[in-house]
């Protein structure tokens, strides 16, 4: 039987409304969603943790606790960025272990764990801890397209992940680049090589995702990610309603409660209107060119926001080409958090400076040093020389160089913390967590009044939209203000 994992309240809203959905809006429909028949609901992780603290003035730990208490039949799932957890850099092992332990204790049943570089060394601690506490674990093979990302490359990564004793292997196609043929070959190959169940996660960005899912099912995939129609399509996942119809009468027919699904569909269609401010034309469309530039929807809308604020939207085409060149120079890293932010920001800096690598952002320097992990292919020699001089990149697991930090958290923070989880929030996002704990955080989300929703018999598919922001540019001439993760940098270009 095909097992559907719903992404509406995590990746759906992250892809289309900049992760602004509040906990109350999730809880309002939770009882209905629990009746639909999903195997699991991905409700936590990714950018939701950051967004709770940064924009919603919410406790992310309270969110997962309340969601877990409201689900009686459906598992809760989260997306975990390996050693990056839910942040934008590698964290020490003590933080990773404690975070996974507390996530499980607060209600996460299923961990879906990936590393942006497919460097399996960065998965080991998170996977080992999740298995130790008794959670279900799906290990991700991150999919992209490049001269070095061959079928055999992905099968090799899958074998490494399987050796960690995960419960399933998930193909993570964050930019919607999969083709039907590759979807079939990957699923079939991974099943044969590892003997494990295979899950498939993709996005509708270039329009092929429903076809990919069909071929994946034919090859033996057991888990498929979908979203409810109000938060589906565009740069999100395909709508579960569409798959429900497409698979009727086949051996893959979905066993879902259609009445409950209709009610949830109506709710989320109306909810999209409430968050209309965060819509973006760049995430609510089919973009066949994504196969060339490989930029995920959230990253695309972010690049557009940067260039708009700098009054340089006419340079978008130039920036897209520069993203390709920067990615090639870096050894073809997959464009997924945090690497998508790093590559995109460096591309904008290059274009605005008028010269490639005239200014190198700190995160790119760290990447070249090996502090994010092992790149898929060698980094351009000139860039290595520019960044490292005569030094060499590290050849150990990056977290091996990090000292424990939980026992070094300032007494002021400990005094403010009401629970151990608050210390973890501080370890990941110091500024935002401190403001939240002091009661100084403000809710930064603008919504329209959503009309009351009644159940509808026939929900229609309503493709949707929005942007995520991790880097901005001030409108002042020749000054670039970029934000990556928790830190803000100002880069000033001298006029000539």
Asked whether the CA dihedral 2, 7, 9, 13 is positive or negative, the reply is negative
For residue 405, is it within any domain?
Answer: no
pLDDT at 333: 97
For residue 448, is it within any domain?
Answer: no
Question: Is the Cβ–Cβ distance between 46 and 82 less than 8 Å?
Answer: no
Domain boundary among 244, 278, 312: 278
Domain boundary among 278, 309, 329: 278
Question: Is the Cβ–Cβ distance between 80 and 104 less than 8 Å?
Answer: no
- Closest C-alpha among 293, 275, 338, 299 to residue 467: 299
What's the CATH number where 229 sits? 3.20.20.70
**Are 257 and 383 in the same domain?**
no
Q: Identify the residue with better confidence: 276 or 308.
A: 276
For residue 114, is it within any domain?
Answer: yes
Res. 442: pLDDT tops 80: yes
Res. 202: pLDDT tops 80: yes
- Return the percentage of the chain with pLDDT > 90, whole number: 81
pLDDT at 446: 82
- Indicate the pLDDT class of residue 480, thresholds 50, 70 and 90: low
Place of tokens 């070249």: 368
Q: What is the mean pLDDT of the chain?
A: 90
Place of tokens 């007494």: 411
**Are 318 and 254 in the same domain?**
no
107: phi then psi, degrees, rounded to nearest 5: 135, 0
pLDDT at 491: 52
Res. 186: pLDDT tops 80: yes
Place of tokens 């606790």: 65
Lowest mean pLDDT among 36-45, 184-193, 333-342, 423-432: 333-342
For residue 167, is it within any domain?
Answer: yes
What's the CATH number where 333 sits? 1.10.472.90
Residue 359 sits in which domain range?
301-400+469-492
**Whole-angstrom distance, CA of residue 364 vs CA of residue 366:** 5
- Indicate the pLDDT class of residue 457, thresholds 50, 70 and 90: very low
For residue 432, is it within any domain?
Answer: no
**Whole-angstrom distance, CA of residue 329 vs CA of residue 385:** 12
For residue 487, is it within any domain?
Answer: yes
Res. 475: pLDDT tops 80: no
pLDDT at 264: 99
**Are 319 and 267 in the same domain?**
no
Question: Is the Cβ–Cβ distance between 424 and 99 less than 8 Å?
Answer: yes
**Are 47 and 116 in the same domain?**
yes
For residue 232, is it within any domain?
Answer: yes
Res. 20: pLDDT tops 60: yes
Angle CA(290)–CA(293)–CA(295) in degrees, nearest 5?
70
Res. 39: pLDDT tops 70: yes
Q: How many domains does the chain have?
A: 2
Res. 388: pLDDT tops 90: yes
Lowest mean pLDDT among 132-146, 177-191, 247-261, 450-464: 450-464
Quick one: average pLDDT of 357-381? 97
Res. 449: pLDDT tops 90: no
pLDDT at 22: 98
For residue 367, is it within any domain?
Answer: yes
**Are 181 and 312 in the same domain?**
no
**Are 212 and 142 in the same domain?**
yes
- Sequence-separated (6 or more) residues with CB below 8 Å from residue 390: none
**Whole-angstrom distance, CA of residue 294 vs CA of residue 292:** 6
**Whole-angstrom distance, CA of residue 226 vs CA of residue 419:** 34
Res. 495: pLDDT tops 60: no
**Are 95 and 224 in the same domain?**
yes
Res. 57: pLDDT tops 80: yes
Q: Identify the residue with better confidence: 279 or 180.
A: 180
Domain boundary among 243, 278, 313: 278
**Are 274 and 305 in the same domain?**
no
Write the pLDDT tens digit of every residue in 129-156. Answer: 999 999 999 999 999 999 999 999 999 9
**Are 197 and 101 in the same domain?**
yes
Question: Is the Cβ–Cβ distance between 155 and 189 less than 8 Å?
Answer: yes
**Are 270 and 305 in the same domain?**
no
Question: Is the Cβ–Cβ distance between 121 and 373 less than 8 Å?
Answer: yes
Cα dihedral 304, 16, 243, 33, rounded to 10, equals 170
- Return the percentage of the chain with pLDDT > 70, whole number: 89
pLDDT at 309: 73
pLDDT at 471: 37
**Are 201 and 311 in the same domain?**
no
- Closest C-alpha among 112, 88, 84 to residue 99: 84
pLDDT at 482: 52
**Whole-angstrom distance, CA of residue 70 vs CA of residue 435:** 29
Write the pLDDT tens digit of every residue in 395-436. Answer: 999 999 999 999 999 999 999 999 999 999 999 999 999 999
**Are 183 and 318 in the same domain?**
no
Res. 487: pLDDT tops 50: no
Res. 167: pLDDT tops 70: yes
- Sequence-separated (6 or more) residues with CB below 8 Å from residue 404: 92, 93, 94, 95
Strands 487-492 and 479-484: antiparallel
């Amino acid at each position: 039987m095909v097992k559907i994992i719903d992404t509406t309240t995590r990746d759906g809203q992250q892809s289309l409304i900049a992760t602004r959905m509040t906990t109350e809006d999730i809880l309002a429909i939770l009882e209905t969603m629990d009746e639909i028949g999903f195997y699991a609901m991905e409700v936590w992780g990714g950018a939701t943790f950051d967004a709770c603290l940064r924009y919603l003035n919410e406790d992310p730990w309270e969110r997962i606790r309340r969601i877990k208490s409201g689900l009686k039949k459906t598992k809760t799932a989260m997306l975990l960025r390996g050693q990056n957890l839910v942040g934008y850099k590698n964290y020490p092992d003590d933080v990773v272990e404690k975070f996974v332990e507390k996530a499980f204790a607060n209600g996460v049943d299923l961990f879906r764990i990936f590393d942006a570089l497919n460097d399996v060394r960065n998965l080991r601690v998170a996977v080992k801890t999740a298995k130790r506490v008794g959670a279900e674990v799906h290990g991700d093979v991150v999919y992209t397209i490049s001269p070095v990302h061959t079928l055999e490359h992905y099968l090799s990564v899958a074998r490494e992940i399987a050796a960690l004793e995960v419960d399933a292997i998930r193909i993570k196609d964050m930019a919607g680049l999969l083709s039907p043929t590759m979807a079939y070959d990957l699923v079939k190959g991974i099943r044969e090589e590892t003997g494990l169940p295979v899950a498939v996660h993709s996005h509708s960005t270039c329009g092929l995702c429903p076809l990919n899912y069909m071929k994946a099912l034919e090859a033996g995939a057991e888990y498929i990610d979908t979203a409810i129609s109000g938060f589906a399509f565009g740069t999100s996942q395909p709508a579960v309603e569409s798959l429900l119809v497409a698979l009727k009468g086949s051996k893959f027919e979905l066993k879902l409660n259609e009445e409950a699904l209709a009610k949830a569909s109506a709710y989320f269609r109306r909810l999209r209107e409430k968050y209309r401010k965060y819509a973006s034309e760049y995430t609510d469309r089919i973009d066949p060119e994504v196969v060339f530039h490989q930029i995920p929807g959230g990253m695309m809308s972010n690049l557009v926001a940067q260039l708009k604020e700098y009054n340089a939207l006419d340079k978008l085409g130039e920036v897209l080409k520069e993203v390709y060149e920067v990615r090639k120079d870096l050894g073809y890293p997959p464009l997924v958090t945090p690497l998508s932010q790093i590559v995109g920001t460096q591309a904008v800096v290059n274009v605005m400076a008028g010269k490639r690598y005239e200014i190198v952002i700190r995160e790119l320097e760290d990447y070249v040093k090996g502090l994010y992990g092992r790149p898929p292919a060698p980094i351009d020699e000139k860039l290595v020389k520019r960044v490292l001089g005569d030094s060499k990149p590290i050849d150990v697991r990056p977290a091996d160089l990090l000292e424990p930090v939980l026992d070094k958290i300032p007494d002021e923070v400990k005094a403010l913390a009401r629970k151990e989880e608050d210390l973890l929030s501080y370890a990941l996002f110091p500024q935002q967590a401190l403001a939240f704990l002091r009661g100084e955080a403000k809710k930064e989300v603008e919504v329209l009044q959503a009309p009351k929703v009644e159940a509808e018999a026939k929900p229609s598919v309503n493709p949707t939209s929005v942007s995520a922001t991790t880097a901005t540019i001030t409108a002042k001439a020749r000054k670039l203000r970029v934000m990556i993760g928790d830190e803000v940098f100002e880069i000033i270009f001298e006029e000539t």
